[in-house]
């Protein structure tokens, strides 16, 4: 490879040095984006943690004020896998929601009561991750989000109808796991599931 010569601000720079400069610029921009993305995510998490409201913080609003920047930022973080915040299980481990499906035949006899069945623990873990979207049901008071969550619930019920032979009716119960503190458990307070909502779907 032949080194080409460039002159930048009167300095003589060859291809190899140019590559190094570009690399360092890329590294700074890359990590600046990652850090800013984390500021956005953590700000949202903290607002939700302290005020109970799920709304965008000032970092997110600032980003979207500048035309094209918000979209470019989202595209870059999506493609590079950096769109997540790194505060895993922080500041606290959120309560877990569960969907319990009761499948019934045409007469109303119960065929099964279950969460969706999968072939591996990894797949089940992913299913439980999907259940987390229903936590939004507690936090978001927005009609469109409510409609989306109901559509997801309906889709899951349809899937259960399809995968259970002879099933004609599915009842879906959205539950939240209520775990007492260790001291409360020692005093025989039971861990239980609190029912948030109940839905019925018929074929």
Is 113 a binding residue for other proteins by CB under 8 A? The answer is: no
CB of 103 to other proteins, least distance (A): 15
Mind spelling out the 3-state secondary structure of the chain? CCCCEEEECCEEEEHHHHHHHHHHHHHHHHHHHHHHHHHHHHHHHHHHHHHCCCCCCHHHHHHHHCCCHHHHHHHHHHHHCCCCCCCCCCCCCCCCEEEEEEEECCCCCEEEEECCCCCCHHHHHHHHHHHHHHHHHHHCCCHHHHHHHHHHHHHHHHHHHHHCCCCCEEEEEEEEEECCCHHHHHCCCCCEEEEEEEEEEEC
Whether residue 43 contacts residue 58, with contact meaning beta carbons closer than 8 Å, is answered with: yes
Is 31 a binding residue for other proteins by CB under 8 A? The answer is: yes
CB of 197 to other proteins, least distance (A): 17
Is 129 a binding residue for other proteins by CB under 8 A? The answer is: yes
Q: Of the two residues 109 and 162, which places its CB atom closer to other proteins in the complex?
A: 162
C-alpha span between 25 and 19 (Å, rounded):
10
Task: Give the residue, chosen from 22, 113, 138, 191, that forms a contact with other proteins under the rule CB under 8 A.
Answer: 191
Of 133-172, binders to other proteins (CB under 8 A) are 133, 148, 151-152, 155-156, 158-159, 162
Q: Of the two residues 46 and 111, which places its CB atom closer to other proteins in the complex?
A: 46
CB of 191 to other proteins, least distance (A): 6
Is 29 a binding residue for other proteins by CB under 8 A? The answer is: no
Given the structure tokens 């609003």, which residue do they identify? 61
Task: Give the residue, chosen from 36, 47, 54, 74, that forms a contact with other proteins under the rule CB under 8 A.
Answer: 74
Q: Of the two residues 94 and 106, which places its CB atom closer to other proteins in the complex?
A: 94
Is 88 a binding residue for other proteins by CB under 8 A? The answer is: yes
- How many residues interact with other proteins (rule CB under 8 A)? 76
Task: Give the residue, chosen from 33, 46, 59, 135, that forms a contact with other proteins under the rule CB under 8 A.
Answer: 46
C-alpha span between 31 and 38 (Å, rounded):
10
Binding track over 51-70 against other proteins, x by CB under 8 A: --------------------
Q: Of the two residues 55 and 117, which places its CB atom closer to other proteins in the complex?
A: 117
């Amino acid at each position: 490879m032949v080194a080409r010569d460039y002159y930048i601000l009167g300095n003589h720079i060859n291809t190899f040095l140019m590559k190094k400069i570009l690399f360092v610029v890329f590294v700074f921009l890359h990590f600046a984006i990652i850090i800013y993305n984390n500021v956005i995510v953590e700000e949202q998490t903290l607002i939700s943690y302290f005020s109970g409201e799920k709304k965008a913080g000032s970092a997110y609003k600032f980003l979207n004020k500048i035309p094209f920047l918000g979209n470019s930022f989202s595209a870059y973080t999506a493609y590079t896998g950096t769109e997540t915040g790194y505060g895993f299980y922080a500041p606290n481990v959120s309560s877990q929601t569960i969907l319990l499906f009761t499948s019934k035949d045409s007469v109303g006899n119960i065929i099964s009561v279950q969460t969706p069945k999968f072939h591996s623990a990894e797949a089940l873990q992913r299913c439980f991750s999907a259940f987390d979207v229903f936590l939004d049901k507690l936090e978001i008071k927005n009609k469109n989000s409510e409609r989306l969550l109901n559509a997801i619930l309906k889709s899951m019920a349809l899937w259960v109808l399809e995968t259970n032979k002879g099933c004609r009716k599915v009842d879906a119960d959205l539950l939240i796991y209520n775990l007492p503190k260790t001291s409360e458990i020692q005093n025989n307070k039971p861990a239980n599931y609190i029912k948030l909502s109940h839905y019925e779907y018929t074929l």
